[in-house]
Structure 1
Amino acid sequence: MGYRPMAELRSWATMALTSLLPAGAEMAYIAGSSGQGRTPAVIVADLDGDGFPEISVVYRMHGELRIAILHRNQDHSWRQVANFKGLGCEVTDLIVAPIAAPGKNTLLIGWQIGSIWSVLDLIEWTPGGYKRLLPGDRYYSKLEAEDMPGGPGAPSGQAEIALWVHDTGEAYKVSVYRWDGEKLVSASPEATRYYFKRVVRYYEDLVKEYPDYTFYKTYLEDARKKANARQANAGKSLRL
């Protein structure tokens, strides 16, 4: 198929899926996108590590959402290799990142369950087929996935997940996680410090925009502590 930009791949896959989805199925779209610019809930990426991309698509059928994963055969036809019931009423996120193993893509889906809430779903290829990694109880409002510096400071090839959980106003409680082989656990201190520098910038902008909202200053102070945890601990050690 050759290299194509993601937008072009999504457009190509969307057209190809017209004949591949079950009769009566309707393509789902990413929540928040609208009009002619709305984004189909389709992603094209290699999930099983064979060097060829799969098509992952969310569709609506009989009033419920489902996600199907399609694998390309040697004759260039497509076959469904996995299908899972959706966990919400809309799709807020559909991305891939190497969450479970370095260099191997995991499918991340955000299923909307409220106006500002989604439940995180991770789907991973295994020798026994595709499986869900989470029980469906990890809620968030916004997410980012990135291979963050950890340990000696260099990226590991395995991505961390930052979950933003709405608290009040435009403030969020932010946590950074990594996959330990069985579950999501807190990311390394290095990765946490790295990411919270971004959180600091977010709250600095809010404090500038809303100088009278003192609670944003509290969130900013907390983010600064987490972004500079090592320096703070080192200072305490010196004072001792």
Structure 2
Amino acid sequence: MLKHPTLDLLGQLGLAGMAKAFTEMVTNDDAASLNHPEWLALLLDHEATYRNNRRLALRLRHAKVRHRAVPEDVDYRTPRSLDRRLFDMLLAGEWITRHENLAIIGPTGIGKSWLACAIGHKACRDNRSVLYTRLPRLIDELTLAKGDGRIAGRMKSLAKVELLILDDWGLQPLDVNARYHLLEILEDRYGQRSTLVTSQLPVARRHQTINGPTHADAILDRLVHNAHRLELEGESMRWPAAQTAA
């Protein structure tokens, strides 16, 4: 097939989705029965799908989610007290629109991180900015950023993201710098953006890991005051998977 001038024009205009659809349709006998408005509608639909897919891929790349978790793959059969109605509400994302927080609490291996990443994936689909990080790693990064002068820019970027996922809260006590950085992050985000944390520790025991009563009260007040809680319980889901693999 000779290259059609319309195809050249679509390329010049940056309409890659329409260009791809145009190439497919001119070689499709079924498309010959379509009238002009139907042709245009299909081209526009392909362009919209192409742009949405590219936007989602970009958001997921920036989100750096730990697991390739999607809402459709959530396991509701495993006994871990996962409230499906509550989780569906969390996936819908209205709490993010209202700048509320979320805590996913449960023992190791119960799937907290995976569920957090599924919520993050859905938020990316909804065209929200997301960033996943393990809290210990974030603290280390901020310590380095403070040393080389990048701390202001890093804190500014953390304040802007619509959903910040802090995984593995409470694995180790926080030192003075860590408490200060965490308080600043939550202060900047309180009432403006949403933060999701996962932890093995119930809220009542988190004072112990923050390691300072004044900072603990301030940090937890900004995190818990408007937070939803998804509390899980049960046996680790890793053991059955390991036994199956064996």
* TM-score, scaled relative to structure 1: 0.24
Greater helix proportion:
2
Larger Rg: 2
Greater strand proportion:
1
**Structure of greater relative contact order (alpha carbons < 8 Å, 6+ residues apart):** 2
* TM-score, scaled relative to structure 2: 0.23
